[in-house]
Amino acid sequence: MKTQKKTMQAVTVFTARKIITMDPSLPEATAVAVSEGRIMAVGSLESMEPWFTGRAVTVDDRFADKVLMPGFIDNHVHPFLGALLTPMEIIAPEPWRMAGGDIHPAANTPAEYEARLKERLAARTDTDELFISFGYQPLEHGKWGRPELDKIAPDRPVVLFQRSFHETYLNSAAMTALGLSAEVVSDHSQVDFAQGHFFETGNMMVMGKLMSTLLADDWYRKGLGITCDLMRQGGITTAADMLFGTISPDFELAAINAVIEQPELPMRVVNVFDGRGFSNRASGRGNGAPDAEIDFAAGQGAMEELLGKDEGRVRFLRAVKLFADGAMFSALMQMNEPGYIDGHEGEWIMTPDVLAQGVKHFWEAGYQIHVHVNGDKGMDSVLDALAQAQDAKPRFDHRFVMHHVGFHTNAQSTRMAALGAHASVNPYYIHALSDTLSELDLGPERAGQLVRSQSILRNNMKVSFHSDFMMAPLEPLFLAWCAGARVTRSGQQVSPEERLSMEQALRGITIDAAFALGMDDEIGSIVAGKKADFAVLEDDPFDLGVDRLKDVRVAGVVFEGAVTMLAKPVASVFGETGRMPVPEPTQDQLEATHCCHDVDPCGHLQEIAAWIHAMPEDVLGQRLS
Give the shortest CB-469-to-Zn ion separation in angstroms. Answer: 9
Could you say which residues in the range 372-391 bind Zn ion, by CB under 5 A?
372
CB of 218 to Zn ion, least distance (A): 26
Task: Say how many residues make up the chain.
Answer: 625
Give the nearer residue to Zn ion in terms of CB position, either 79 or 95: 79
Q: How far is the CB of 350 from Zn ion (least distance, A)?
A: 12
Instruction: Closer to Zn ion by CB, 166 or 531: give it.
Output: 166
Taking the least distance from each CB to Zn ion, the nearer of 431 and 499 is 431
Per CB under 5 A, which region of 63-71, 150-158, 352-360, 366-374 contacts Zn ion? Answer: 366-374
- What is the three-state SS of 438-457? HHHCCCHHHHHCCCCHHHHH
Q: Which is nearer to Zn ion, 39 or 81 (CB)?
A: 81
Smallest separation (angstroms) from Zn ion to the CB of 516: 14
Q: Identify which of 449, 505, 516 has the alpha carbon closest to the alpha carbon of residue 479.
A: 505
Return the residue nearest Zn ion (CB atom). Answer: 602
Distances in Å between the Cα of 39 and the Cα atoms of 299, 315, 510 are: 38, 21, 16
H-run or E-run covering 566: strand 562-570
In angstroms, the CA 522 to CA 526 distance is 10
| CA dist 552 → 106, 574, 616 (Å) | 21, 11, 48
* Nearest distance from C-beta of residue 421 to Zn ion, angstroms: 16
Q: How many CB atoms neighbour CB 67 within 10 A?
A: 22
Q: List alpha helices for 367-443, DSSP H.
A: 376-392, 410-419, 428-440
Residue 285 sits at φ, ψ, to 5 deg, of -115, 155
For residue 375, the minimal CB distance to Zn ion (Å) is 12
Query: Helix 352-364 and helix 275-282: axis angle, to 10°?
Result: 90
Comparison of 470 and 535: residue with beta carbon closer to Zn ion: 470
Q: What share of the chain is helix, strand, coil (3-state, %, to 5)?
A: 40, 20, 40
Tell me whether residue 157 or residue 234 sits nearer to Zn ion (CB atom).
234
Taking the complex as a whole, the smallest distance from the CB of residue 136 to Zn ion amounts, in Å, to 14
Closest CA to 80 of 470, 404, 448: 470
> Which listed residue (595, 610, 619, 624) binds Zn ion by CB under 5 A?
595
Q: Which is nearer to Zn ion, 237 or 426 (CB)?
A: 426
> Is residue 602 part of the contact set for Zn ion (CB under 5 A)?
yes
H helix or E strand, kind and range, residue 118: helix 110-123
Binding residue count for Zn ion, defined by CB under 5 A? 5
468 binds Zn ion (CB under 5 A): yes
Stretch that binds Zn ion, among 99-107, 217-225, 335-343, 600-608 (CB under 5 A): 600-608
Measured distance CA(48)–CA(230) in Å, rounded:
35
Which region, judged by CB under 5 A, interacts with Zn ion, from 122-130, 172-180, 435-443, 588-596? 588-596
Mask for 165-204, x = binds Zn ion (CB under 5 A)? -x--------------------------------------
The answer to whether 512 and 464 have CB atoms below 8 angstroms apart is yes
Q: Which stretch binds Zn ion (CB under 5 A): 224-232, 347-355, 379-387, 598-606?
A: 598-606
Segment contacting Zn ion (CB under 5 A): 16-24, 293-301, 461-469, 497-505?
461-469
Q: Determine the Cα–Cα distance for residues 517 and 232; give it in Å rounded to an integer.
A: 20
Among the residue ranges 23-31, 136-144, 211-219, 367-375, the one whose residues contact Zn ion (CB under 5 A): 367-375
The answer to whether residues 325 and 317 touch, using CB atoms and an 8 Å cutoff, is no
> With respect to Zn ion, which residue has the nearer C-beta, 14 or 72?
72
How do strand 314-323 and strand 236-244 relate by DSSP bridges?
unpaired
Piece of the chain touching Zn ion by CB under 5 A; list 37-45, 152-160, 433-441, 460-468? 460-468
> CA-to-CA distance for 433 and 452, rounded, in angstroms?
14
Beta carbon of residue 594, minimum distance to Zn ion (angstroms, whole number)? 9
Site for Zn ion in 232-291 (CB under 5 A): none
The reply on whether position 419 binds Zn ion by CB under 5 A is no
Q: How far is CA 175 from its chain centroid?
A: 32
Asked if 417 interacts with Zn ion (CB under 5 A), we say no
CB of 198 to Zn ion, least distance (A): 12
| Residues contacting 143, CB < 8 A, separation 6+ | none
Q: Write out the residues near Zn ion by the rule CB under 5 A.
A: 166, 372, 468, 595, 602
